[in-house]
Structure 1
Amino acid sequence: MSVAVHTDDDLAVIGAGFVHLDYAATAPCVRAAADAVNALLPSYGSVHRGTGPRSQTSTLEYERARDVLADFLGCHPGDQVVFTRNTTDALNLLARALPPGTTTVVFDGEHHANLLPWPNALRLPAPSSPDEAVTAADRALRNLRGPVLLTVTGASNVTGEVWPIARLAEVAHRHGARIAVDAAQLAPHVPISVAEIGADYVALSGHKLYAPFGSGVLAGRADWLDAAEPYLAGGGASAAVGDRIGDVRWATGPARHEGGTPNLLGAVSLAAVCSALAEADRSALRAHEQELLAQLRAGLRRVPGVTEVSLFGAHSERVGIVSVTLTGRDPSEVATRLADDHGIGVRAGKFCAHPLVRRLTAEAGDAGCAGGLLRVSFGLGTTAADIDCLLAALGSV
């Protein structure tokens, strides 16, 4: 099998003609993902299901994609990489795989994907600082017995603030608990290593990471996943099926939770992006993003009636996501005006994080704002001119 040679063009964003600043919802596809799909289409076929050339090629590419994701995420030897539809799917899979009686500890500042799936959940108030997050987790975990999972976001989809994952992992492990990280918003902006940050599980979505819709990953420790009932019962998840109902021997490893024909093109396109990012100068990409973030935040402070919201304070570490309240204005109306009159795409609403948005609007003195917040988010392909365009348009609106 040939090894791809990556160039700067691999991370070039496909599409032009408008200013897209809604990356936190869906990041645009990059050239590496599109090229990987186009290269595979002429020979693509069933995965793990045949001996013909199409099936053999597809199976090799699918398993190669799994290896690429394991490397990209810095997994331990023996960790599993299970392909899912998206982060929500991945976290629901993990919730279904928890040992009986597991207590889940979660902050109420999470995206609904990491707030709603968990049985027997202990919900903590969203902290006002990274230190408070660590202290609150420590206090909660010390009183729990049996299997325990602490599940947290890597970076907020509302404020962009980066959570103290390594410190939370240390606290969790000190109390015999495990930690899962919703990396949907962190992975596109910051390199992640499961081994280095001490995470037991990481979940992410392809459509946040410059790949098409429909692909996601749950990566992490194998024991809970191997002991759980299959997430989707069917072909692929079953190793042998007898003549009587219930006479089934289930597969082990990732296949156990990948029932049905897998999303080969999604897996391959996601792996292509991860491979290109792994070879890029991510420090330079991060520095450029921080320059744009400073430009955006400084410009927003000059727009009357605009107030940036934050959990951890003005100087906390962030990725390229900023949300604001708009005094006396409906964020949805403003977002529509930006799109219709200026060709600028942003997001308005509560971003599937209703408890957090309610708190942030209240703290900003806008508790009655039923429309939620206006969110600006960006990444690869965003330029200083894009930020200037938004600021000028927002000022006029």
Structure 2
Amino acid sequence: MSSAILEKAPVAAEPLLPVVGSELAAPLIHGGHVRYANLDYAASAPAVEDVAAHLSEVLPYYASVHRGAGFASQVSTSVYENARHIVAGFVGARADDTVIFTRNTTDSLNLLAGCVQSLLAGNGFTEGVSNAHGEVLYLDIEHHANLLPWQGLPHRSVVAGQSLASTLSRVETQLRAGNVVLLAVTGASNVTGEVLPVAELAALAHQYGARIVVDAAQLAPHRRIDMARDGIDFLAFSGHKLYAPFGSGVLVGRPDWLDAGTPHLAGGGAVKDVRLESVRWTEGPARHEAGSPNVLGAATLARAAQVLAGLDADEWHAHEQQLRSHLVAGLSETDGVTVHHLFSDADTYPNAGSIGVVNFSVEGYDAGLVAAYLSAEHGVGVRDGKFCAHPLLRRLGLPSGSLRASFGVGSRLEDADRLIAGIRTLLADGLGWDYVVDAGRWVPANDSRSYPAWAPNTPGTAGAAPCTTD
């Protein structure tokens, strides 16, 4: 196994932005502590320090919104509604696009699916859509959030090709066959990090009388998005992947479908008038935001958007590409490690490339065991499993799962080096501790380490929701 990659680049490159928890000490199974190397950004990214500071500013004013006359309520309402304008600017939305705050990307896409279902039932499609009785078209590489909501509607799936060029050709073939009302695609694969040319896909959808929705959960934290320029009709992403806590998501898109669709939740705030046996629903964002909204989630998401918008794009992408190239090279030069990808032309196709997500497997080792080993013996956090993309993992020949390292603005080259070194130590020397399966997950046997006092170990949680989270 070559160690040349570890010698080619500096191993202490500074993070692009400071993030909360960057110096977190992780306990090792053999004793002692080491700085936690967080390579699990694609699941939930740490909060940027500026976002955490903004939360402290907003929190004293936290109150009800929209109908409160008190000072704190007025401030909270201003913060909440201004967050819509910030998010709209961040993604290059059109002037009349609606910005709806949701729980996460999954919630956003389910909301849109409900609107499409309503419109299909009532044939209520409008401008730019000629297939009023149509189907939803999606790729087989999608995260479950952009696959399962469409299975309850008339739908078709496209098996992606070995290249982006062949994949677009297959998409066009299905669009040309007619009857597609919506094309649902990911902006960047949550499994491999490869970016899809969404502007080209949007142009194809519009050419054949359909609209497009982009799952930008992975794209938004890594790339500039311009909905108006690229022709994106609907866009969904999550705050918790955008360096903002509190579980807020966003759906941004054309108001005609959103105003015509059945409200996502039936409740207070979404109505114009209610009688005992009837209701008149309102339009605009409130139509789908019944109940007390997640004010702090919207506020932190908006501040994260401002912080990312303020980055120099070239510096941002260079930081990420340095990390990705370093990690891919180090893993690829390690005998027994396979780095997985989808498209042969991902790095050469226009407006494509890859974000800070690397998928790999280690010969002879279960992915979950490797992840447990890296955490316990090296203080490195990675993801293992099927990444809520079961059809894609089966297609890659990985039905039992693989490993994923992901990073972002708070990452360092040292994090990648520690992962590479840990894998090489495993392949050279084997496991340094005994591991057992507990509730479906690999864990160190006889683990005496403990969580902080305010977060006690709870029996049976080690394997909660195996192979499904992301």
Give every structure 1 segment of 4 or more consecutive aligned residues whose post-TM-superposition deviation is greater than 3 Å. 8-11
Q: Tell me the equivalent position of 1:335.
A: 371
Q: Does 1:123 align with 2:157?
A: yes
Q: Tell me the equivalent position of 2:200.
A: 167
How far did 1:287 drift? 0.7
Q: Tell me the equivalent position of 1:352.
A: 388
For structure 2, which runs of at least 5 residues remain unmatched after alignment? Answer: 1-13, 25-35, 121-132, 348-352, 427-470
CA distance in 2, matches of 1:347, 1:321: 11
Q: Normalising by the residue count of structure 2, what TM-score does the alignment of the two structures yield?
A: 0.79
Q: Normalising by the residue count of structure 1, what TM-score does the alignment of the two structures yield?
A: 0.93
How far did 1:84 drift? 0.4
The correspondence of residues 23-172 of structure 1 with structure 2, limited to 5 A, is: 23-98=41-116, 99-100=119-120, 101-118=133-150, 119-145=153-179, 148-172=181-205
Are 1:188 and 1:208, in contact at CA under 8 Å, matched by a contact in 2? yes
Which of 187, 192, 204 in structure 1 is aligned with 2:237?
204
Which of 1, 14, 18 in structure 1 is aligned with 2:20?
14
Greater Cα shift, 317-326 or 126-135: 126-135
How far did 1:120 drift? 1.0
Which of 418, 423, 428 in structure 2 is aligned with 1:394?
423
Q: Tell me the equivalent position of 2:436.
A: none
Are 1:90 and 1:217, in contact at CA under 8 Å, matched by a contact in 2? yes
Which of 309, 315, 318 in structure 1 is aligned with 2:354?
318
Between the aligned residues of both structures, percent identity stands at 51
Q: Structure 1 residues 10 and 217 mapped into 2: Cα distance closer, same or farther (>3 Å)?
A: farther
Are 1:233 and 1:259, in contact at CA under 8 Å, matched by a contact in 2? yes
Q: Tell me the equivalent position of 1:245.
A: 277
Q: SS at the partner of 1:117?
A: helix
Q: SS at the partner of 2:149?
A: coil
Are 1:109 and 1:353, in contact at CA under 8 Å, matched by a contact in 2? yes
Q: What is the CA deviation profile of residues 174-205 of structure 1, one whole-angstrom value per residue up to 9, with x for unaligned ones?
A: 01100000000001000101011110000000
Which of 199, 214, 225 in structure 1 is aligned with 2:247?
214
Q: Structure 1 residues 9 and 394 mapped into 2: Cα distance closer, same or farther (>3 Å)?
A: closer
Which of 301, 306, 313 in structure 1 is aligned with 2:337?
306
Which of 220, 232, 236 in structure 1 is aligned with 2:265?
232
Greater Cα shift, 34-43 or 91-100: 34-43
CA distance in 2, matches of 1:370, 1:329: 14
How far did 1:9 drift? 11
The residue type equivalent to 1:302 in the other structure is: E
Work out which of the two has the higher radius of gyration on C-alpha atoms and give 1 or 2: 2
Which of 259, 271, 290 in structure 2 is aligned with 1:259?
290
How far did 1:310 drift? 1.0
Q: Does 1:377 align with 2:413?
A: no
Q: Structure 1 residues 10 and 82 mapped into 2: Cα distance closer, same or farther (>3 Å)?
A: farther
Q: Tell me the equivalent position of 1:176.
A: 209
Q: What is the CA deviation profile of residues 312-360 of structure 1, one whole-angstrom value per residue up to 9, with x for unaligned ones?
A: 0275310010101222110100000000011000011100000101111
The residue type equivalent to 2:290 in the other structure is: G
Q: What is the CA deviation profile of residues 211-235 of structure 1, one whole-angstrom value per residue up to 9, with x for unaligned ones?
A: 0141000001000000111100100
Q: SS at the partner of 1:323?
A: strand
Q: Structure 1 residues 358 and 224 mapped into 2: Cα distance closer, same or farther (>3 Å)?
A: same
Q: What is the CA deviation profile of residues 248-304 of structure 1, one whole-angstrom value per residue up to 9, with x for unaligned ones?
A: 111110000000000000000000010111112122011111011110011001222
Are 1:332 and 1:371, in contact at CA under 8 Å, matched by a contact in 2? no
CA distance in 2, matches of 1:60, 1:132: 48
CA distance in 2, matches of 1:57, 1:120: 44
Greater Cα shift, 278-287 or 251-260: 278-287
How far did 1:133 drift? 2.1
Q: Structure 1 residues 121 and 315 mapped into 2: Cα distance closer, same or farther (>3 Å)?
A: closer
The residue type equivalent to 1:110 in the other structure is: E
CA distance in 2, matches of 1:333, 1:358: 20
CA distance in 2, matches of 1:164, 1:128: 15
CA distance in 1, matches of 2:399, 2:262: 41
Q: SS at the partner of 2:324?
A: helix
Q: SS at the partner of 1:295?
A: helix
CA distance in 2, matches of 1:9, 1:153: 27
